Amino acid sequence: MKSRRWMRKSWPWLVLLVLMGVLLTGCNAANPSTETGHEGAPAEITGEEIQRAPAQPLQIVSLSPSQTENLFALGLAEQIIGGSDYCDYPAAALEKEKLGSSWTINLERIIELEPDLVFTFAGGQPEAVSQMTAMGIQVVDVTPESIEEVFESILETGKLTGTEAAATALVEQLTEERDLIVERVSELPRVPVFYQVWDEPLQTAGPGSFIHELIELAGGENIAADADGAYPMYSVEALVEKNPAIFFMPPHVADFEAMTEAAAEAYREEVRRRPGYDQIDAVQHNRIELMEPNIASRPGVRIIEGLRLFAEAIHPEVF
C-alpha cells in the first residue's frame, strides 16, 4: 500500500530553487527531514487521527507557498492570518502578514497570533516546530513529491479544515484534467528532454521528483531518469551525450513576471553560449523552453497546469 508521505518528506534540492528566487518557495534544504517520533515533532496525521474541524473557523498560518495556494483553492482565504515571504499566488496571498518561511520562521510573531494550524514544508526549523507544538499549535508538514501525493494533501487539508466537499470536488476536477492531457499524448513518440533546476552547478530533476513525473506524463523522456536522486547534480558531458531535444529552464520569478521577448531571448542566448551546448539538439533547433517558475516548481493545486505546460511544449502539434 502506498504510504502517506505528504506530511514528513524532504525535498532537498528543489527547495534551493525556490528560495533562490527561481521558485517561490525557499532555499537550500540539503539535509532531508527524518520521520522522528519524538515529542514536539509535526503531527503525523492519518485518517483515523485527524481531528474534526472546530465549530469556530480555524486560524491558519501557511509557511509553504504551495500549501497557501491549496488553502485559497479550498475557500479558506479568510482563515489565513499569515503566510510565508514567498506566498505570492493568488494575488490576495500578498496581502497576508509575512512570517518568514519554513527555514526562517518568525516564531515570536506566530506565537503572538495564536493560530490553530501552521503548515510547513520539507521539515524546516524543527526546534521552532517543537516550540510551537509545545504551545498547543498544531503543525503539519506538507511535502508531496508526486501528483497523487498532491491530491492526497489536498484531501487531508480538507479534513483538517472542514472543507472535505470542496477538496473532493477539486481533486476530482484535477484528476479529470490530468487524464485528458495524458490521453492526448499517450500514443505520440516520446521526446527526450532535460529540466534545469539550477545552472551552476548544473542541477536537474531526476527520478522521485514530481517534475520527473510531469515530464513523463506529458509525453517526454527525462534524460536524467537514471540519475541518482530526485534533484541531482548533472554533468555537461552527460547532457551532451544524452542529447535532449528540448531544454527546459525556469527563469527567476521576478524576471519571469516582467518577461519581455528580448529578455526571454537573452536567457536562451545564455544557454547557447555555454561550452559544449552547441552540440545539443535543443540548442541547435532553438527548443529552449522557459517555464513559469512557480507553476513548474510548486507541488500544489496548480500541478496539473504545470503538466499542461510541459505537454504543450513537448507536443505542440496536439494542443
Domains of the chain, by residue range, sit at: 12-31+56-172, 189-318
Model pLDDT for residues 232-253, shown as the tens digit of each residue: 999 999 999 999 999 999 887 6
pLDDT at 25 exceeding the cut of 50: no
- 12-31+56-172 and 189-318, same CATH topology: yes
pLDDT at 253: 61
Question: With pLDDT > 90 as the criterion, what percentage of the chain qualifies?
Answer: 72
pLDDT at 254: 57
pLDDT at 50: 39
Distance, CA of 27 to CA of 99 (rounded, Å): 16
Model pLDDT for residues 254-301, shown as the tens digit of each residue: 567 778 999 999 999 999 999 999 999 999 999 999 999 889 889 999
pLDDT at 111 exceeding the cut of 90: yes
pLDDT at 34 exceeding the cut of 60: no
Instruction: Please confirm whether the linkage preceding 90 is cis (ω < 30° from 0).
Output: yes
pLDDT at 285: 97
**Under 8 Å CB-to-CB from 267, ≥6 apart: which residues?**
249, 251, 255, 288, 290
Distance, CA of 115 to CA of 59 (rounded, Å): 5
Take residue 172 and report the three cell numbers written for it. 476530482
Q: What is the mean pLDDT of the chain?
A: 84
Model pLDDT for residues 122-159, shown as the tens digit of each residue: 887 899 999 999 999 999 999 999 999 999 999 999 99
Q: Which contiguous run of DSSP H or E holds residue 198?
A: strand 191-198
Q: What is the CATH number of domain 189-318?
A: 3.40.50.1980
Q: What is the CATH number of domain 12-31+56-172?
A: 3.40.50.1980
- Low-confidence winner among 37-41, 70-74, 129-133, 172-176 (lowest mean pLDDT): 37-41
